Amino acid sequence: MKLFFYAAMLISSLTACAQKNNTMSNTPADQQLAAAIKADDAVAVANALKAGAGKEIRDGENRTPLMNALYQNRLEAAKVLIRAGASVNAQDRVLNTPFLYAGASGFTDIVRLCMKSGADYTIFNRYNGSALIPACERGHVETVAAILEDKKFPIDHINRLGWTALLEAIILGNGGKAHTKIVQLLIKAGADLNIADQNGITPLAHARKKGQKEIVILLENAGAR
């Protein structure tokens, strides 16, 4: 029995090592791709891919080349990778995907490309949040508008804190022009204005409490309670 146990452990260990070796591929083409991404050189990225660089290889943080490009703010490189078929749904160790991270970062062009390239709206970040929720929180108006162009997007998704995109825009927003515009966009897109947080407090009540007068008017005129 012990012999079987140790044999199983050895096989498991060898399998893990093999998977790690595949994941941590470091061929000359992969090195070329990493350098091209760092330089944000679109032509060099394309050449590295033609030379056989892996689009879906993972580093120690489980990040793909596309994810690394976005973390480094190398958006031209990211565009080439997406157009070449790199997954926009591959999650890294902290559960970010290219689409989720682009939404949170306000990378509108990348968000649009991800949506055209099969972004999965059922994959969420470590807060169980969508790409829309942090975009609303951070005041990324153009990004929010881009996401809301797709009527199939789950606009009323509730994250781990019990907040929708509307709630997050109000609770964590500053009530300024950007957040007011975002609330306006959410209303126009058909967001449910009366989903309360875990304490039963509605978006309208939060806006009143925070003195966000323009947002209060928008919500009241739209029929929020």
Residues 151 and 209 in one domain: yes
Q: pTM, whole model, 2 decimals?
A: 0.89
Q: Looking at residue 135, what is its pLDDT?
A: 99
**Residue type, position 34, single letter:** A
Answer yes or no: is 67 within a domain. Answer: yes
Residues 146 and 207 in one domain: yes
Owning domain of residue 66? 26-122
pLDDT bucket at 123, cuts 50 / 70 / 90: very high
- 11: tokens are 């096989």
> Residue 194: is its pLDDT beyond 90?
yes
**How many independent structural domains does the chain possess?**
2
Q: Looking at residue 26, what is its pLDDT?
A: 87
Answer yes or no: is 34 within a domain. Answer: yes
Q: Residue range 88-95: average pLDDT?
A: 99
Tell me the per-residue pLDDT of 41-69, one tens digit each, with 9 for 90 and over: 999 999 999 999 999 999 999 999 999 99
Residues 118 and 145 in one domain: no
The CATH number covering residue 176 comes to 1.25.40.20
Last residue of a domain, one of 90, 122, 154: 122
Q: Which residue pairs, CB below 8 angstroms and at least 24 apart, start in 119-122?
A: 119/88, 119/89, 120/89, 121/152, 121/153, 121/154
Q: Looking at residue 83, what is its pLDDT?
A: 99
Residues 220 and 153 in one domain: yes
The count of other CB atoms within 10 Å of the CB of residue 197 is: 18
Q: Residue range 133-144: average pLDDT?
A: 99
> Residue 150: is its pLDDT beyond 80?
yes
Share of the chain above pLDDT 90, in %: 88
Tell me the per-residue pLDDT of 2-36, one tens digit each, with 9 for 90 and over: 443 344 344 334 334 433 444 566 899 999 999 99
Last residue of a domain, one of 122, 137, 169: 122
Residues 215 and 135 in one domain: yes
Half-sphere exposure of 38 (CA within 13 A, CB side): 6
Residues 32 and 112 in one domain: yes
